[in-house]
Structure 1
Amino acid sequence: MNFYETYIAKYESEMWEAIGQTFFMVGVSLAAAILIGLPLGTLLYLTRKGQKYENVVLFTILDVIVNIIRSFPFLLLVVFMIPLTRMIVGTALGTTAASIPLAVVAIASYSRLAEQSLLEVPKGVVEAASSMGANLFQFIYKFLYVEARAGLVRGLTLSAVSFISYSTVVGVVGGGGIGDFAIRYGYQRYETELMVFTIVIMIVFVQLIQYLGNLLARTLDKR
């Protein structure tokens, strides 16, 4: 019996379900990173010392919160957030529940990467925006984001790769995903070939995301 008949055909439905769960969790994480993490990173940039909208108190509060979340070992964060997760989605188990701590980490991680990308914007661009009388909205969307877009995409790509790695941990709360599939059906059942095959799938996902992210970043980088 060949590999396909032994493993793929036998676990095909479970494998596709696991891949779907991984895409769902990574998708939720990316959405949280873009919709909340990017504005948070922008706020960190705008309010840090020496910037036009400097606010030491607000920056310090946000900076500490982001650092605390990023310092948490992810597995401990998943367990620590169980009461909050249950409050938000009504359960602490399942793919949707596992997406909550992933989203929190995504927000904190990408906000820091976004802040660093914005800090790389040349001072000449900032001065040009001020001299042209740009308001806050124009300053952010027509100057900062335009100049930093390649770095923002690279940061999001790096984050997406990390989210795939994090998604393998959420099996402890029944989150599922391709990593959980590899552990339950490969490692725990001593089917090493299936586990290796699943790892290869994850590597392909990561390489594809990295390639597409780098391609988009190069396209956007006009320097």
Structure 2
Amino acid sequence: MTWEEMGSLLWEATGQTAQMVALSTLFTVLFGLPLGVALVVTDTGGLLPARVLNRVLGLVVNVGRSLPFIVLMIVVIPLTRLIVGTTIGTAATVVPLTLGAAPFFARLVETALREVDRGTVQAAQAMGAGRWTIVGKVLLPEAMPGLVAGLTVTVVALISYSAMAGAIGGGGLGDLAIRYGYHRFETTLMVVTVVALVVIVQLVQMLGDAVARRLARR
């Protein structure tokens, strides 16, 4: 295989990986952020204590985090087919990626929110702020550096998950490595694919760390 052919395949696979990660990150935040907030506000001593609901949410999150991603992809095949209409390809991979990452991100959101100074919350309550005002104007802004750091970790995990999705025809860099690097013994392409994944992860981590540091200084 020529370098030109490898470059073309690598470019296409990188675009597929970027699409999978971007869409799954969006849905992970949409589902994981409210779930993480709910874990905090419904806990004992929270803004809206609900012991039973908190335990149910905690169980859902723990079950979601305990399943290996390769197993999760197989388990949710019927759901993926129902939502997307197919079980292979970039769009189909977004479903298990989101289901795998949302509980993970929810726990990181919970951790970040719990690190907010309790005195800040009590001061807002003393001034008459409502529960959801405290969440939106106090908890989330104060926890923003931790939330960004948690999101960075989640995106890195999603990149790893997306590579594993290649095992079931999910497309992207993982699929490229399996189809050409493994099945066709294209060792050079395998190495280049691994290097591309490492570079992408490093860029994401550096960007996330930089944003988190800037928010922390503010």
TM-score by length of 1: 0.94
Supply the AA of the counterpart residue of 1:152.
Answer: L
Aligned to 1:169, the other structure's residue is in SS state helix
Any idea what the Cα deviations from partners look like across 1:94-135, whole Å, max 9, x if unmatched? 111111000111211111100010011111111111111111
Which residue, 106, 113, 119 being the options, matches 1:118? Answer: 113
Q: Which residue of structure 2 lines up, in the alignment, with residue 33 of structure 1?
A: 28
Q: Which residue of structure 2 lines up, in the alignment, with residue 54 of structure 1?
A: 49
Q: Which moved more, 1:120-129 or 1:182-191?
A: 182-191
Kept in 2: contact 1:7–1:194 (CA 8 A): no
TM-score by length of 2: 0.96
Supply the RMSD in Å over aligned alpha carbons. 1.3
Q: Residues of 2 paired with 1:197 and 1:13: CA distance?
A: 12
Counterpart mapping for 1:1-223 below 5 A:
6-222=1-217
Unpaired segments ≥5 residues, structure 1: 1-5
Q: Residues of 1 paired with 2:87 and 2:188: CA distance?
A: 32
Q: Residues of 1 paired with 2:47 and 2:207: CA distance?
A: 35
Supply the AA of the counterpart residue of 1:213.
Answer: G
Count of residue correspondences: 218
Deviation at 1:43, TM superposition (A): 0.7
Identity over aligned residues, as a percent? 48
Kept in 2: contact 1:26–1:164 (CA 8 A): yes
Q: Residues of 1 paired with 2:192 and 2:10: CA distance?
A: 11
Find runs of 4+ consecutive structure 1 residues off by over 4 angstroms.
Answer: none
Unpaired segments ≥5 residues, structure 2: none
